[in-house]
Amino acid sequence: MPEPRTWRYVAGSAVLGLTLAATAATAAGPWDSGQRKAERARATAADPRGGAHHAGPPAADAPRAPAPAPSAPGVLRALGAPTGPGATDSADAPGTPRTTRTSDPTDWAGLLGPLLADPALGPLRTASLVDTATGRQLYAAGPGTLMTPASTIKIATATAALSALGPDHRIGTTTVTGADGRTVTLVGGGDPTLDRARLTKLAQATARALKAPGRTPGPVRLAYDTGLYSGPALHPIGPNENIAPLSALMTDEGRLDGSRSGPAPRTADPAGDTARAFAGLLRAAGVTVQGAPAPGRAPHGTRAVPLARTDSAPLDDLVERTLTTSDNDLAEALARQTALARKQPASAAGAAKAVHDELAGLGLPVTGARFADGSGLDRNDRVSAALLTGILTRAADPARPALRPVLTGLPVGGFSGTLAGRFGTGTTAPGAGLVRAKTGTLTGVNTLTGTVVTADGRLLAFAFLAGRTDSPGTAQPALDRLAAALAAPR
């Protein structure tokens, strides 16, 4: 039984730091109370590769094999009476929104400027650093410049979906029949997490409905409806191990190797494969299915007779999975769910408009931003560092608890998801357990966006975006040094 959901990701974030420090010795690594137990195994256990190899050879979000778990620095002193440089007064107690800060003695430009100038980050680099409790910009370098974000755009996708739909929204897959009961239609609702177990239960429930008192059981034909989505089925990057063809009906994200995250061989026909598997499951449940499944449209209105339904996990869980494992298929599904919520077509264009408009409604700086896809695989995506830190600041706002999964889903440096193999040694070690961030990797593009708990207990949002980089092997450590410097005691 999953634990009741909690939304405690306090602005001061000392509680998060305490949680991470207290659990750093465990083999699984730390997870704060906002991460549902049901998602822990799914997000971190199955495949240590984590996120996608977005383009070219292994220049991907997937980290190297993780080293033994490091220990997070203690942050207990953030809970006591603050003293020393950068300390907050009593009004800044953890969990209390800070409204004023008379001074900030940290030389953020002196700290971050030299690190941002690292040649490993290429000739194009931007940055934004914001105190989430006050909204104050602490450091900026081209914060409004539009850059290719790679997978960090998933933060925008996830936020728009939560804002438009709410954290309890579920994506349904249904079966319906017509008045004569001769054709059963499997209707895709856009849930890429549908798996064999749930498909089996849907078939069994459909069989029971067909055999219910008052019905005349007989042979049926099976149709499958993918009409919820419109536009091209292939992502602009084409057939690729990082994403299946975009379909409203699929099982296990179209994966053919049994994996749960990372690159994998994909079926070219996810809907057809799912329908054929469903036909076999119906037969196993005692239903005579004639012929092979065929595409078709489900009956609507008074002609439709609902049979059965299976639902995805709640949206807050889906968001956490999307961000922790850099799940491209799920990110595209969330973008299209946002489009549907805003009465737009469930296409790339409809999703782009919906995400843009939803973020604009949150008062975020979206002028010029482009959301060409939901996953970040498309190089035509454009966002600014200021937009990304603005999103994270909104997610940390105590008045917006529905957005909290955007924070709790971020991978934890040195412990989980796409950061499991990073922040382990050397100058990046101070970030272990205290940096939570979404990675982004395309050939020549490396980005890192997230939050960090400082030595004085503040929660800062950061975005570092680099373009025309030579190698992820040098760019990623440079980004990690930037984030780790924020957590290191000063």
| HSE-up of residue 143 (Cα within 13 Å, Cβ side) | 17
The CB density around residue 103, as the number of other CB atoms within 10 Å, is 7
Sign of CA dihedral 93, 99, 101, 107: positive
- The alpha carbon torsion through 319, 325, 326, 331 (nearest 10 deg) reads -30
Helix (H, G, I), strand (E, B) or coil at 109: helix
Q: How far is 454 from 445, CA to CA, in rounded Å?
A: 27
Q: Measuring CA to CA, which residue among 392, 420, 382, 262 is closest to residue 327?
A: 262
Q: Which of 128, 247, 312, 326 is flagged as catalytic?
A: 326
11: its two tokens:
């602005």
Q: Which of 154, 247, 375, 438 is flagged as catalytic?
A: 154
288 φ/ψ angles, rounded to the nearest 5 degrees: -85, 115
Asked if 72 and 20 touch (Cβ cutoff 8 Å), the reply is yes
Q: Measuring CA to CA, which residue among 135, 22, 102, 50 is closest to residue 419?
A: 50
Q: How far is 337 from 324, CA to CA, in rounded Å?
A: 20
Q: Which of 128, 151, 261, 384 is flagged as catalytic?
A: 151
User: What is the DSSP annotation of 375-395?
Assistant: SS--TT-BB-HHHHHHHHHHH
- Strand pairing report for 172-177 and 305-311: antiparallel
Question: What letter does residue 28 receive in the DSSP assignment?
Answer: T
Q: Measuring CA to CA, which residue among 66, 137, 129 is closest to residue 452?
A: 129
Specify burial of residue 188 (Cβ count, 10 A radius: 0-12, 13-18, 19+).
buried
Helices marked H in 121-259 — which ranges? 153-165, 196-210
Residue with tokens 């980290």, as numbered in its chain: 63
- Residue 4's region, left for phi above 0, alpha for psi from -120 to 50, else beta, is beta
Most distant pair of Cα atoms in the chain: their distance: 79
Q: Is 326 a catalytic residue?
A: yes
- Strand pairing report for 294-295 and 221-225: parallel
| HSE-up of residue 262 (Cα within 13 Å, Cβ side) | 20
Q: Which residues are catalytic?
A: 151, 154, 326
